[in-house]
Amino acid sequence: MAGRGRARGPGIRGLCLLLVCLLVPLVGCGGRSAADHARADVQRVLDRRAAALLGHDPRAYAATGAATGAAAGYEAVRTVPLAAWSYRVTDLRRSGDRATADAELSYRVQGYDKAPVTAARTLRLTRDGAGRWRVTSERPAAKAGEQLWDQGPVKAVTGEHSLVLGVGQSGERLRSFAELADDAVPEVSAAWGTDWAGRVVVLVPRSLEGMAGLLGSPASSYRGIAAVTTGETGGGSRAPADRIIVNPDAYGMLGRVGRQVVLTHEATHVATRAHTGAATPLWLSEGYADWVGYRGTGRTPAEAAPELQHAVTGGTVPAALPGDGDFGFSGDAQRLAKAYEGGWLACRMIAERWGEVKLDAFYRAVGEHEKRPGAVEGALHSVLGTSLTRFTADWQDYLRTRLAE
């Protein structure tokens, strides 16, 4: 019985194999479907496209496109100093000789990104008479922010401690941003220390709308905001470099000192990123960045905190340190200003009363907590030897005293 059982098995398997192979036109037999072949073909086209971009070969890049001006994407990116650029097709939807591919773009800027920046992209392709797929367009995926080169040809200016990338800006203006950034980096290192990259990437779009496009948010969210910094909170040494994104409309309204304060503030966010996490309240992260920004300017509290001064001298002293909700960009402008000013003066008070070394230690101690509850209270006790209640009362007294000077 055992022998017949063994003999019968191969016969059944052989019959099944024969039946399956008869279905080749429908599902294939050990091969891949037409959709799989198309996806593999599109992946190869994108691989060639990436290699041409990295190899500075505009003709090879244009050969992967389908229309006149197929090298336009190359021209937009070619000045960016890239260390890596690749695509990974995640989905393909095909209809005859047309296809739409979802892909993950991964790239690194030479000398700045220790890890790749990734972006979701949507590419449209057509197939020519020879059966070759060619790209007709590439854009951000739905709900994904734009990349700077989506907005036009990028100009690049390299400073001593900075890389400035801009669209629709003159070389002279981009050099002015590089000078500001180069002045900011040593100021930040003098305050925070040198345990950070010591260089920054600054993106200067054409307008407020361009800034909003990079952030994937409505322009109204950033009106009046001169710059923001994007990056991974708590990011380690292998994270991509933060990007300082400028609002050229608001930035152009600032004087020389104001422009420097803003760039130094944003560079501080870059430096402190690895020690900033879910436990760090915005009054501390924004207040510390403002403290570094104003540190060498000689600006008095009354000069740098006009909204809070007006409230305090009018008899309204904040009942508590600013909450995260007070820092909403789309809310009340006066409330936002007072939140920034209050956070700055809290950090200024720590630096004056306990010393700059203690201020830095306090910031790091708060960031070491995994969760918000207890983080500030614990650091106040362990680093400054005080309680939240006592610290808040001291801060209120500090506001009354300094803003009346």
Domain's final residue, options 119, 144, 169: 144
Point out the residues of the chain with pLDDT beneath 50: 1-30
CA gap 276, 207 in Å, rounded = 29
| Four-CA torsion 369, 371, 376, 382, nearest 10 degrees | -30
Asked whether residue 173 falls in the same domain as residue 237, the answer is yes
Asked whether residue 131 falls in the same domain as residue 104, the answer is yes
Asked whether residue 58 falls in the same domain as residue 140, the answer is yes
pLDDT at 329: 73
Asked whether residue 291 falls in the same domain as residue 324, the answer is yes
Asked whether residue 171 falls in the same domain as residue 290, the answer is no
Q: Is residue 5 part of a domain?
A: no
Q: Is residue 172 part of a domain?
A: yes
Asked whether residue 244 falls in the same domain as residue 286, the answer is no
Q: Is residue 265 part of a domain?
A: no
Burial (CB < 10 A; 0-12, 13-18, 19+), residue 69, is exposed
Q: Is residue 224 part of a domain?
A: yes
Asked whether residue 82 falls in the same domain as residue 170, the answer is no
First to last CA, the chain: 105
Could you tell me the two tokens for 95?
């209809």
CA gap 359, 199 in Å, rounded = 23
| DSSP letters for 143-197 | TPPPPGGGGSPPEEEE-SSEEEEESS--HHHHHHHHHHHHHHHHHHHHHH-S-S-
pLDDT at 220: 86
Reference 77, options 97, 118, 49; nearest CA is 49
Domain's final residue, options 118, 144, 170: 144
- Lay out the sheet containing 82-95: strands in order across: 82-95, 98-109, 117-127, 133-140
Q: Structurally, how many domains does the chain consist of?
A: 3
pLDDT at 237: 59
pLDDT at 19: 33
SS (H, E, C) 104-121: EEEEEECCCCCCCEEEEE
Asked whether residue 297 falls in the same domain as residue 381, the answer is yes
CA gap 32, 59 in Å, rounded = 32
Asked whether residue 134 falls in the same domain as residue 154, the answer is no
Q: Is residue 221 part of a domain?
A: yes
* Residue range of the domain that includes 119: 34-144
Q: Is residue 24 part of a domain?
A: no
Domain's final residue, options 95, 127, 144: 144
50 CB-near residues (< 8 Å, 6+ apart): 85, 86, 87
Beta carbons of 216 and 231 less than 8 angstroms apart: no
CA gap 81, 85 in Å, rounded = 11
Look up residue 36 and give its amino acid: D
Q: Is residue 207 part of a domain?
A: yes
Asked whether residue 200 falls in the same domain as residue 283, the answer is no
pLDDT at 33: 65
76 CB-near residues (< 8 Å, 6+ apart): 149, 150, 152, 153, 154
pLDDT at 370: 86
Domain holding 135: CATH number?
A: 3.10.450.50
Asked whether residue 52 falls in the same domain as residue 134, the answer is yes
111 CB-near residues (< 8 Å, 6+ apart): 81, 83, 163, 199
Beta carbons of 124 and 135 less than 8 angstroms apart: yes
Domain holding 220: CATH number?
A: 3.30.2010
Asked whether residue 293 falls in the same domain as residue 403, the answer is yes
Reference 273, options 202, 343, 192, 372; nearest CA is 192
Neighbours of 221 (CB within 10 A): 14
Q: Is residue 75 part of a domain?
A: yes
